[in-house]
């Protein structure tokens, strides 16, 4: 009897402990949200046993319930509220943002390099020994600045002689004019014969021709003297090679070279698929590899393609007044072809419909509407797309938990939820 009594007490204690254990829940990590919750008894007796059987017969067992959707820790608060409302037969709540259509710049990027407008050789127009070089390499010059000086030799004497000859021709002209006038008065008074006028007229014409010839000779001699001072014909920067003092400079010889850095041009190529978009006068932005920028416009588009690349040469002229942009630097030009109407959207609001079509979900009259979109351009500020109304309210939060035709409660972005 004592033994049976002991077994009975032990059985009662086991049932009490089992009931207590059954009320607890054990959470095992790494199983996903809610998937690791089991009762303590189940964890102790995976295949069933005495405790599990006893608890089941006693009716003291506890079920583990995992609430779908609303209590899923992986969802946002707004998504949980939306799911909870759906389970209760209420409309889901979504967050919306208003968008308007904008002008999207239609741009084409070109790669190329900067190029000077021209490289001009400073040419001597007479021959002689270089007396002085009046510039240094890299010096900026303006039109008319002295580049180098040649010895004048006998040119100064030639100018003085030509001027003396001109004075003599003028004196002879004055005498011929006086003789002609005297003959005219004598003929009018009847003292001189009428046929005597021809000789005086011929002498006067010859004297006038001599004066003109003497004036031309003076001008030529002065120009020849002036040519001993070689000056810049364009503004720019002096480049090598430079003449040296003592060199014999022939006609056509170069004292120096001048590179024009203002204005400059961008030289690139347009692919044949887009050459019909390139037009003269289009605005463009040039950005060099070292970060300098300039605004210009298309000044030349070739009508013949490069046989090797099948691309068409293009030039974009731009101002460079401070000479910061140098010749031959790699650069990129963005040509503005105009504007087209489009929407600039963040990539995060894009979604897929049941058929895998890319688009956005909007709210119209409290109803979800799906619009497929066409992506035009991906930029730092967002993605330019078409296929949407002029203005609309797009779902920015909760779009993955609703579908087209469903009634929802739209909360505009920036509105505090109640």
**374-394 pLDDT, tens digit each:** 998 888 888 999 999 999 999
In a domain, 189, yes or no: yes
* pLDDT value at residue 63: 44
0.85 exceeded by pTM: no
Q: Which letter, b or e, does each residue of 288-312 get, where b requires 16 or more Cβ atoms within 10 Å of its Cβ?
A: beeeeebebebbeeeeebeeeeebb
| pLDDT higher than 60, residue 146 | yes
One domain, residues 243 and 127: yes
Q: What is the CATH number of the domain that holds 168?
A: 1.10.287
- pLDDT band of 35, cuts 50, 70, 90: low
Q: Are 72 and 387 in contact (CB under 8 A)?
A: no
Model confidence at 334: pLDDT above 80: yes
Tell me if 68 is assigned to some domain: no
Q: Does residue 267 register a pLDDT over 90?
A: yes
**Could you tell me which residues come within 8 angstroms of residue 209 by beta carbon, excluding any fewer than 6 positions away?**
none
Residue 167 in this model has a pLDDT that exceeds 90: yes
CB 373, CB 329: distance < 8 Å: no
Q: What is the pLDDT of residues 335-387, one digit of tens each?
A: 887 788 999 999 888 888 888 899 999 999 989 999 999 998 888 888 999 99
Q: Are residues 122 and 211 in the same domain?
A: no
Residue with tokens 């022939």: 250
Q: Which residue has the higher pLDDT, 29 or 125?
A: 125
Residues 212 and 171 in one domain: yes
Both 333 and 373 in one domain: the answer is no
pLDDT band at 67, cuts 50/70/90? very low
The answer on 263 and 122 residing in a single domain is yes
pLDDT(407) > 70? yes
pLDDT of res. 198: 81
Percent of the chain with pLDDT over 90: 37
Output the domain CATH number for residue 362: 2.40.420.20
Who wins on pLDDT, 299 or 80? 299
End of a domain among 205, 227, 249? 227
- Same domain for 330 and 361, yes or no, is no
Average pLDDT, stretch 20-27? 54
Predicted confidence at residue 379, as pLDDT, reads: 84
DSSP string, 200-220: HHHHHHHHHHHHHHHHHHHHH
If we measure between CA atoms, which residue out of 338, 339, 337, 340 comes closest to residue 387?
340
- pLDDT score recorded for residue 24: 56
Same domain for 124 and 241? yes
Residues 148-152: what's their mean pLDDT?
92
Same domain, 110 and 97: no
Confidence at residue 298, expressed as pLDDT on a 0 to 100 scale: 93
In a domain, 6, yes or no: yes
Domain match, 328 and 358 both: no
The mean pLDDT of the chain is 81
CATH of the domain at 292: 2.40.30.170
Using the predicted structure, report yes or no on whether residue 52 has a pLDDT greater than 70. Answer: no
Count structural domains, the chain.
4
Which long-range CB contacts under 8 A does 39-48 form with residues at least 24 apart? 39/64
Do 216 and 249 lie in a common domain? no
Q: Are residues 358 and 397 in the same domain?
A: yes
- Residue 324 is assigned to a structural domain of this protein: yes
Pick the closest to residue 405 from 356, 358, 354 (CA basis): 354
Residues 49 and 156 in one domain: no
The domain containing residue 38 runs over which residues? 2-58
Structure tokens at 138: 């890299």
pLDDT beyond 60 at 65: no
């Amino acid at each position: 009897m004592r033994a049976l009594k002991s077994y009975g007490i032990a059985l009662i204690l086991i049932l009490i402990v089992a009931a207590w254990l059954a009320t607890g829940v054990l959470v095992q990590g790494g199983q996903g949200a809610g998937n690791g919750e089991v009762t303590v008894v189940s964890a102790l007796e995976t295949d069933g046993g005495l405790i599990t059987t006893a608890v089941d017969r006693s009716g003291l067992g506890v079920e583990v319930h995992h609430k779908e959707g609303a209590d899923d820790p992986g969802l946002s608060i707004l998504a949980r509220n939306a799911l909870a409302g759906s389970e209760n037969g209420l409309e889901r709540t979504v967050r919306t943002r208003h968008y308007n259509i904008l002008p999207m710049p239609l741009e084409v990027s070109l790669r190329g390099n900067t190029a000077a407008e021209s490289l001009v050789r400073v040419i001597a127009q007479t021959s002689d020994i270089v007396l002085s070089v009046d510039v240094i390499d890299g010096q900026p010059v303006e039109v008319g600045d002295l580049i180098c000086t040649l010895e004048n030799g006998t040119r100064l004497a030639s100018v003085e002689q030509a001027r003396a000859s001109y004075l003599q021709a003028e004196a002879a002209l004055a005498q011929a004019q006086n003789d002609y006038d005297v003959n005219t008065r004598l003929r009018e008074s009847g003292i001189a014969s009428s046929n005597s006028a021809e000789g005086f007229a011929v002498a006067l014409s010859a004297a006038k021709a001599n004066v003109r010839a003497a004036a031309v000779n003076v001008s030529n001699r002065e120009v020849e003297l002036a040519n001993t001072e070689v000056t810049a014909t364009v503004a720019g920067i002096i480049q090598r090679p430079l003449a040296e003092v003592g060199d014999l400079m022939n006609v056509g010889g170069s004292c120096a070279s001048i590179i024009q850095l203002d204005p400059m041009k961008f030289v690139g190529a347009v692919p044949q698929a887009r050459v019909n978009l390139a037009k003269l006068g289009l605005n463009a932005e040039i950005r060099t590899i070292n970060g300098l920028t300039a605004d210009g416009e298309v000044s030349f588009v070739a009508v013949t393609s490069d046989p090797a690349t099948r691309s068409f040469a293009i030039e974009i002229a731009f101002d460079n007044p401070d000479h910061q942009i140098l010749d031959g630097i790699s650069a990129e030009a963005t040509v503005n072809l105009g504007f087209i109407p489009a929407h600039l959207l963040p990539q995060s609001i894009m979604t897929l419909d049941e058929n895998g079509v890319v688009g956005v979900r909007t709210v119209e009259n409290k109803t979800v509407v799906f619009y497929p979109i066409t992506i035009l351009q991906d930029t730092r500020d967002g993605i330019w797309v078409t296929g949407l109304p002029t203005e609309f309210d797009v779902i920015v939060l909760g779009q993955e938990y609703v579908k087209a035709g469903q009634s929802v409660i739209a909360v505009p972005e920036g509105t505090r939820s109640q």
